[in-house]
Structure 1
Amino acid sequence: MNHFPQGEEKPGLVERYATTIKLFFVAMLTLMLLIPLAMIQSLIGERQNTRQEVVREITSKWGGEQTITGPCLVIPYEEIRVEEKREIVERRNLLLLPETLDAKISTSVEERRRGIYDASVYRSNILLTGEFDISVIARQNLNPSQVKWNDVRMIIGLSDLKGIQEQVSLEQDGEVTIFEPGIPVENLEPGRGSASDNMLYELFSVGLNAKPAFPTPDSALQEIYPFSVAMRLNGSRGIYVVPAGKTTTASIQSDWTTPSFDGEFLPQTREISDKGFVAEWRVLDLNRSFGQVIRSDNSNTLNQMAASRFGVRFIQAVDQYRQNMRSVKYGILVLLLTFVAVLFIELMRKRRINPFQYLLVGLALLLFYTLLLSMSELLGFNLAYLIAAVMTTLLISLHMGSILGSQRQGVQIGVLLLFLYLFLFLLIQMESYALLAGSLGLFVILAVIMYYSKQLR
């Protein structure tokens, strides 16, 4: 039986369990604030989608991502098959790939703006040189009389013809031929591939064609035919080469300082500086899964050909939306630790804080992320993070100092917030070691909370 001094009233249920009730309230408030936190995540995704739409609009008028396939020779021939004692003549096409292919590409990258958004576009000068070995056709059990030599075409697959800036010329033994738009080849499968951003692309859906110069059909199968193709091409996001040659060499140089080498093959050598980069590739036919002669209707082989492309993507060095999303994912940690710190000060200093003040602090912490998102689109992520963190810290410090009647305790809360924002900024900047650093940091924070919790009764 409990006894209380005379004249002193027995504590009520609320007073006896005030600490437990306040802890329950803080936990429930934290969970409730996860709803607007999720809405902020949705807002970041929406702004990112808006930027992508603007980028697509800009690049659709300038020229999209370019994949260069070829040159290839289309060899039409007639195949005779017997069906019900009747001879049926079918016209088919072979794609003859070059024996050697050397691609020299130089690009100049520009930024085009629409409102607060920008897109990276480029101008490129491309020179494709190499040679065809026509004798390879004889190994396909194909009689020279079956080949329609007058209908042989040279084709080049491109991704977006809007990017062509000048006439594309074919130089062959001193003779110049101008390419025409389109790929007039029957039953030619486009050859589909999937990019790193899950976008689909096709090799021969659009492109160019030209009538190459050949000697008489009698000597055609014994000849080596060199070629040289020059073009000026606009594009965006990236530029790729398909290793069509039995030996393919490629060199890409640019003034872009943050390249992302992409595709099936990485460059053998690369140099990156503050003035740009130079990268070189060398791919053999042994490195890929298709041969030098392909039937135009063989979709599996053409898809393998599409998947073998390599090149470079012109990406932004910092993606502020990705960093904003990472910062929001740590939002619950900032909310919870700030509430715990305020609760500790309230209980240890025996100063009651109205629950409405907790709500105001939580809303101020959430406002940090909208400030960060809006300012990072204009100022960049790092500067926006600094400004938003200082503004939020000052607001909460001054408010809590006024509520607690002690500017010193307000400063203590401000120092804690600055530490949390600094800790989270370091985690956001990390890639490989973010999990390790975050786990160790949380362990230390939990140890500090456990130490100071001993003073609570």
Structure 2
Amino acid sequence: MQVKLGLKMAIIAMLVVMLQIGLWSIHDQVRQRQRLQQEVIAEIADSAAAEQTLIGPLLLLEYPERVQEASQDGQPPREHTVLRRQVFSLDALTIDGSVSVETRQRSIYRTNLFRATLALQGTMALPARLGLDDAQARQAQLDKARAFVLLGVSDLRGIGNSPTLQVNGRSLAFQTGHRGALESPAIHAELGPVDLNRAQEFTLQLPLELLGSQRLAIAPTADLTQVALQSAWPHPSFQGRFLPARRDIGADGFSAQWQVSHLARDFGQTLRAGLSRSHNETLEVQFANPVNIYSLSERAMKYGILFIVLSFAAFFLIETLQRRAIHPMQYLLVGLALAIFFLLLLALSERIAFGAAYAISAAACVLLIGSYLGAMLGNRGQGFGLAGGIASLYGILYGILLSEDNALLMGSLLLFGALTALMLGTRHIDWYALGAARPAAKESRHEQ
């Protein structure tokens, strides 16, 4: 009998491995659906506008400078003229804006686009001769300088209006191009010749309408950058290096304010903010959906094997303690019902809200398993009692999914509780005697 008990345990272990392979297949399906979603989001961004990063406005100065080049063979140095470019930050920049969010759908996949209406105002003062000493000023031909206002926009297709820049009361039109001053896409407006031998002051105003996908980032290039945004979107995610100084989030939307000093940011990095996420010297708002069904499904599946092991452990205890034979095929069918829950969850959550999909999938599997166990054990109350335990596991798992920060703690407590219950339930069992004394179910019925 000891051999039979050991063989049964080996068969159960083999069934667990088989079901784990099935869970891996479902997990692979989750990954594939997630990749499809990302492809659809990229396609929508390609046809509308991608994530947006604003850099500036900035002041670009171009001026000729005489440079002496040392010559060889004892010849006198040669002098030639090069074009110098210098980028200057504004002294102060204020950005006020409102953002509306709309959902675009292709097939069953959705993504969010935002439309930002922004008002940019800035001031700047340049000292005479740019603060250069006499020798440097003689080399630089500052009276021939030309000035430009630059604005970096990571996806120029998102500019919804034809923005007109107001500088000291003058109206200037923008052209595309960064004039070699930025590495990301940009637009520029030419201020024309400016004599830098005397001090200059600039006051800028710019209305801007901007379309983008999911994320709006602003690089705080000014010496003092103040940003105020408001939106009816109730699920903002504030990212980047600079978080809001004040924010208010409610069911009717959010408002947030940032204030960033030049002492807190790296000017060189802000100029490269639109290149990649690694250059994140920005303040950001993400308008992504609050629930990522694929991430939640993937996290839920990590506990799939625990559901199966705990259920099989309960069946094995019933089988050994109550002398009730349970066929390996019955173990397998219950395990398949537990595994199919995750496939149902994935399929339904793509169509309806995740919470509703979870409730429907869990209820369907619990009712199926309860009915089957009641018939299998010949005791409906015991069958639905075991199903109630499985329902409790589903409830605990949902709590784990909702509380991402406490997921490790709650998962650890669940494992510890399950192990505790198993050890307490089997602490008086003499496994050697149990294996030797266990009768075969078919023989007992035949003797009757």
With the length of structure 2 as denominator, give the TM-score of the two structures: 0.88
1:271/1:279 contact within 8 Å kept: yes
Please tell me whether residue 277 in structure 1 is matched to residue 264 in structure 2.
Answer: no
Structure 1 position 68, deviation (Å): 0.9
Structure 1 position 67, deviation (Å): 1.0
Deviation per residue, 1:331-373 (Å, 9 max, x gap): 1100100111111222222221221221121111111110000
Match of 1:206 in 2: 185
Partner of residue 162 from structure 1, selected from 142, 157, 167 = 157
Structure 1 position 257, deviation (Å): 0.7
Partner of residue 141 from structure 2, selected from 133, 137, 146 = 146
Match of 2:358 in 1: 385
Match of 1:311 in 2: 284
Structure 1 position 173, deviation (Å): 2.6
Structure 1 position 439, deviation (Å): 2.2
Structure 1 position 430, deviation (Å): 1.6
For residues 106 and 16 of structure 1, what CA distance do their matches in structure 2 show? 74
Partner of residue 224 from structure 1, selected from 201, 207, 216 = 201
Partner of residue 265 from structure 2, selected from 281, 288, 293 = 288
1:75/1:147 contact within 8 Å kept: no
Partner of residue 340 from structure 1, selected from 292, 302, 313 = 313
Match of 1:249 in 2: 226
Partner of residue 110 from structure 1, selected from 99, 102, 112 = 102
Deviation per residue, 1:255-296 (Å, 9 max, x gap): 111111111111111111111111111111111233xxxxxx
For residues 269 and 256 of structure 2, what CA distance do their matches in structure 1 show? 30
Structure 1 position 405, deviation (Å): 2.4
1:14-413 paired onto structure 2 within 5 Å = 15-79=1-65, 80-84=67-71, 85-135=77-127, 138-141=130-133, 142-143=136-137, 146-147=141-142, 149=144, 151-183=146-178, 185-186=179-180, 188-190=181-183, 205-212=184-191, 217=195, 221-290=198-267, 302-303=271-272, 306-413=279-386
- AA aligned to 1:42 is D
Q: Percent identity?
A: 33
- Aligned-partner SS, 1:433: helix
1:61/1:162 contact within 8 Å kept: no
For residues 33 and 418 of structure 1, what CA distance do their matches in structure 2 show? 20
Structure 1 position 252, deviation (Å): 1.1
2:241/2:283 contact within 8 Å kept: yes
For residues 123 and 139 of structure 1, what CA distance do their matches in structure 2 show? 41
Decide whether aligned partners of structure 1 residues 177 and 331 sit closer, same or farther in structure 2, where only a CA change above 3 A counts: same
With the length of structure 1 as denominator, give the TM-score of the two structures: 0.86
1:44/1:321 contact within 8 Å kept: yes
Structure 1 segments unaligned to the other structure (5+ residues): 1-14, 191-204, 291-298
1:342/1:413 contact within 8 Å kept: no
- Aligned-partner SS, 2:350: helix
- Aligned-partner SS, 1:217: coil
For residues 412 and 145 of structure 2, what CA distance do their matches in structure 1 show? 71
Structure 1 position 213, deviation (Å): 5.7
For residues 128 and 302 of structure 1, what CA distance do their matches in structure 2 show? 18
Decide whether aligned partners of structure 1 residues 264 and 366 sit closer, same or farther in structure 2, where only a CA change above 3 A counts: same
2:151/2:188 contact within 8 Å kept: yes
- AA aligned to 2:105 is R
Structure 1 position 311, deviation (Å): 2.2
- AA aligned to 2:364 is M
For residues 49 and 122 of structure 1, what CA distance do their matches in structure 2 show? 23
For residues 74 and 407 of structure 1, what CA distance do their matches in structure 2 show? 81
Decide whether aligned partners of structure 1 residues 229 and 247 sit closer, same or farther in structure 2, where only a CA change above 3 A counts: same
- AA aligned to 2:329 is F
1:368/1:388 contact within 8 Å kept: yes
2:100/2:233 contact within 8 Å kept: yes
For residues 63 and 189 of structure 1, what CA distance do their matches in structure 2 show? 20
Structure 1 position 151, deviation (Å): 3.4
Instruction: State the aligned residue count.
Output: 417
For residues 289 and 123 of structure 1, what CA distance do their matches in structure 2 show? 28
2:270/2:281 contact within 8 Å kept: no
Structure 2 segments unaligned to the other structure (5+ residues): 72-76, 435-448
1:268/1:281 contact within 8 Å kept: yes
Structure 1 position 440, deviation (Å): 2.4
| RMSD of Structure 2 on Structure 1 (CA) | 2.1
For residues 102 and 46 of structure 1, what CA distance do their matches in structure 2 show? 44
For residues 229 and 140 of structure 1, what CA distance do their matches in structure 2 show? 30
- Aligned-partner SS, 1:379: coil
Decide whether aligned partners of structure 1 residues 342 and 218 sit closer, same or farther in structure 2, where only a CA change above 3 A counts: closer
Decide whether aligned partners of structure 1 residues 380 and 432 sit closer, same or farther in structure 2, where only a CA change above 3 A counts: same
For residues 61 and 37 of structure 1, what CA distance do their matches in structure 2 show? 37
- AA aligned to 2:101 is V
